[in-house]
Amino acid sequence: MGRMPALDVRSLISPAHCRPRCEGVIRYADVEVQMLGVLLGVVLAGSLVALADVASSYESELRSFTRAHWLRSVMVPVLGPLLWTMYGRPRIVKAPSAPSRYLLENTATDDNPAYIAYLDRLISARRHQAQD
């Protein structure tokens, strides 16, 4: 038996007699394959990020399900990470901003007039006790 010719992937997309008039279709198919690879990479990256996020979250902060349920659900390619982001991820609690009045009132103790007045009263009371 003779040797089989090498398989050309382009020949599967369009036969040899169609190549001259289908050249644009072949280029379009190549772009589709590349975009499919990019899409697959984005989906895989999203699943891995969600998986790492589930694994690193504290059990007490998880919402809706347990960690085991979320680990299994994140394995579903698109729906799992989306559901994790919307319903399972711990909420980020922002600390309330400090009012400016607080910043002005809480200065260093040696600059606080109320504290200095307290120290003056304390010193004068001790002097008064020492004189008696």
Q: Tens digits of per-residue pLDDT, 49-67?
A: 999 999 998 888 888 888 9
95 belongs to a structural domain: no
- Check whether residue 18 and residue 75 sit in a common domain: yes
- The per-residue pLDDT for 4 is 60
Distance, CA of 51 to CA of 75 (rounded, Å): 8
Per the structure, the complete domain to which residue 110 belongs is given by 103-132
**What is the number of structural domains in the chain?**
2
Please indicate, yes or no, whether residues 64 and 117 belong to a single structural domain of this protein. no
Mutual orientation of helices 67-74 and 23-56 as an angle, nearest 10°?
A: 170
pLDDT at 42: 92
pLDDT at 2: 60
What pLDDT, on a 0 to 100 scale, did the predictor assign at position 104?
52
Which parts of the chain sit beneath pLDDT 70?
Answer: 1-29, 93-110, 132
In a 13 Å sphere around the CA of 73, the CA atoms on its Cβ side amount to 20
Residues 44 and 85 both lie in one domain: yes
- Whether residue 77 sits in one domain with residue 42: yes
Question: Full-prediction pTM beyond 0.75?
Answer: no
So what's the pLDDT on residue 11?
Answer: 56
- Do the domain assignments include residue 98? no
Q: Is residue 76 part of a domain?
A: yes
